[in-house]
Amino acid sequence: MSGDELADALALANGHRTGRALRGEPRHGTPSDSASRSGASQGGASDHGASDGASHGAGRPHAEPAHGTAEGAEDVRHLAWPRARAVAARAGAERRAEPVTLPLESALGHRLAEPLTALTDLPAFDTSAMDGWAVSGPGPWELADPGDAPGVLAGDDAPPPLADGHAVRIATGARVPPGATAVLRSEYGRVRDRRLRAPRAPQHGADIRPRGQECRRGDHLLSAGARITPAVLGLAAAAGWDELPVLRRPRAEVLVLGDELLTSGRPEGGRVRDALGPMVGPWLAALGVEVTSTRRLGDDAEALYAALADTTADLVVTTGGTASGPVDHVHPALRRLGATLLVDGVAVRPGHPMLLARLPAGAHLVGLPGNPLAAVSGLLTLAEPLLRAAPGAGPSDTPFAEPSVEPPTAPLLGEVHGHPRDTRLVPVVQDGRGVRSLRFTGPAMLRGIATATALAVVPPGGAAPGTGVRLLRLPWA
Ligand SMILES: Nc1nc2c(c(=O)[nH]1)N[C@H]1C(S)=C(S)[C@@H](COP(=O)(O)OP(=O)(O)OC[C@H]3O[C@@H](n4cnc5c(N)ncnc54)[C@H](O)[C@@H]3O)O[C@H]1N2
Ligand code: MOO
């Protein structure tokens, strides 16, 4: 801990704020024991269990976030998990969405930038709802065409008028001739000697879909902001649209940090496979973002600074480099850029070094810790609420679901150890009426999450068996 940090720690412990804390500037050397412990864990909850937290907490001078300073600034360090999510959601809601026009075939999943109105009456003309005969007046009817004529087919433009007492064969979807009073279904009529008879005369208007039955030209069909589902694409096409005004999706860029990462083959020579490059982009895409690139920058401070200074993305997501090691460059790069830290660490296990910042040009940056499950925790804690609130981005639950008002909850089957002060996010599977914690859920492990259907939000102190816990759904589960 540096002298500055010690001063901060003492000031905060005594209920004072320092200038560094007021500006939300990054602080380094966050004490933690989890990294040193993670190697020993075989995948149980021990990485995040009570003993971990107890020793961790002993070195943490500012477990409670500070509020309401004289200048109105807030301490952004080690925020409580619900508060960190709220800050991320606020950041997302502040984003402006740019309207763009997309052809129907590219518009799926976007949100409408404007209300969708009908460009035509639907149906656009009086339409036969059945195969049969268009008839005029009460029967029997004289056939207008020779018996073997196809009659009026779907797509025919202007069928000749039908005189009273006459009938003409007609197909489903065909324009009803002027003068027709009903359509008689083929199974209800019989033709003999060019005369059509029916045991019961059809009611006036039977099996005719009148023009404008579904909508009139100019009618409001869907509100701005509606998600474009396959059904919406169909409706828009039926109503005459070729391209749609939509909100542009946020563009995200993924920067994978770490010299130790291999992009192919098996781990060797002290190096490991990059597990986050293949995971983070698709995860963001499932949250309704356009991922423009995933780049591997190694542990190159200059390359990171340049990437952040030059980014044209709305959201930059970095992986690794959030802690205080000699090659952890995220905080220094943000400081050098003059970025504003909105969240600098979260009271959550795994993933407590995660961060959220606003870059000077307006893009947001989510810094995911390098331990792979800690990175998942950062995605769900910071990226997901930010994108859920950002106009133009997608929902998280399923590709087309709207955000539910009430988060899902489920009873925990079996006890889940908590952290004394921090929230734990625990990979779980649905099991009958509740959720069951998985094995292999250490911060460096993906084996648990790969079979999980959700992450259970275990409050500080843990949750006894049968307790209802909140679930964070995975975008594909
Ligand atoms: N003195 C402290 N050390 C650490 C702390 C702390 O508070 N004080 N926190 C620990 C925790 S918790 C985590 S999580 C990590 C976060 O570290 P970084 O975000 O700086 O990540 P790295 O050091 O770059 O990597 C950590 C770990 O993850 C592996 N990694 C990184 N990127 C990838 C990837 N793309 N695919 C697979 N694995 C990856 C990396 O090799 C390391 O093993 O810091 C602790 N330390
Ligand atoms: O151990 Mo850290 O908790 O992976 O974030």
Q: What is the pLDDT along the chain (477 residues), one digit of tens a residue?
A: 333 333 333 233 333 333 333 333 333 333 333 333 333 333 333 343 333 333 333 333 333 333 333 344 679 999 999 999 999 999 999 999 899 999 999 999 899 999 999 999 999 999 999 999 999 999 899 998 876 788 999 998 889 999 999 999 999 999 999 999 999 999 999 999 999 999 999 999 999 999 999 999 999 999 998 999 999 999 999 999 999 999 999 999 999 999 999 999 999 999 999 999 999 999 999 888 999 999 999 999 999 999 999 999 999 999 999 998 899 999 999 999 999 999 999 999 999 999 999 999 999 999 999 999 999 999 999 999 999 899 888 653 345 555 555 678 999 999 899 999 999 999 999 988 899 999 999 999 999 999 999 999 999 999 999 999 999 988 888
- pLDDT at res. 188: 96
Spacing, Cα 222 to ligand 2 middle (Å): 44
Write out the two tokens for 317: 């997501």
The helix-helix angle for 301-310 and 330-337 (nearest 10°) equals 50
Task: Pick the atom of ligand 2 nearest to 48's CA.
Answer: 3
Three-class secondary structure of residue 286 per DSSP: helix
Q: Rounded CA gap, 429 and 153, in Å?
A: 55
8-state DSSP, 224: T
Q: Is pTM beyond 0.90 here?
A: no
Q: Which of 2, 10, 12, 11 is nearest to 64 (CA)?
A: 12
Q: To the nearest 5 percent, what fractions of the chain are helix, strand and coil?
A: 25, 25, 50
C-beta of residue 274 within 8 angstroms of C-beta of residue 266: no
Reported ipTM: 0.98
If phi > 0 it is left, if psi is from -120 to 50 it is alpha, else beta; for residue 347 that is beta
To the question of domain 82-96+249-389 being in CATH 3.50.30.60, the answer is no
Taking only the tens place, the pLDDT of each residue in 160-209 is 999 999 999 999 999 999 999 999 999 999 999 999 999 999 999 999 99
C-beta of residue 396 within 8 angstroms of C-beta of residue 475: yes
Task: Pick the atom of ligand 2 nearest to 34's CA.
Answer: 1
C-beta of residue 78 within 8 angstroms of C-beta of residue 346: yes
DSSP-assigned states of every residue in 151-220: -B-TT---PPP--TTEEEEE-TTPBPPTT--EEEEGGG-EEETTEEE-SSPPPTTTTEE-TTSSB-TT-E
Task: Pick the atom of ligand 2 nearest to 369's CA.
Answer: 5
C-beta of residue 364 within 8 angstroms of C-beta of residue 316: yes
Q: Is 370 in the pocket of ligand 1 (CB under 6 A)?
A: yes
- CATH fold of 409-473: Beta-clip (2.40.340)
Whether residue 123 is preceded by a cis peptide bond, meaning omega within 30 degrees of 0, is yes
Spacing, Cα 220 to ligand 2 middle (Å): 50
Q: Tell me the domain boundaries of the chain.
A: 82-96+249-389, 99-121+214-247, 125-210, 409-473
Give CA separation, 42 vs 227, 334, 458, in Å.
43, 35, 21
Enter the CATH code of domain 125-210. Answer: 2.170.190.11
The closest ligand to the CA of 297 turns out to be 1
Q: Rounded CA gap, 19 and 301, in Å?
A: 26
Give the CATH superfamily of 99-121+214-247. Molybdopterin biosynthesis moea protein, domain 2 (3.90.105.10)
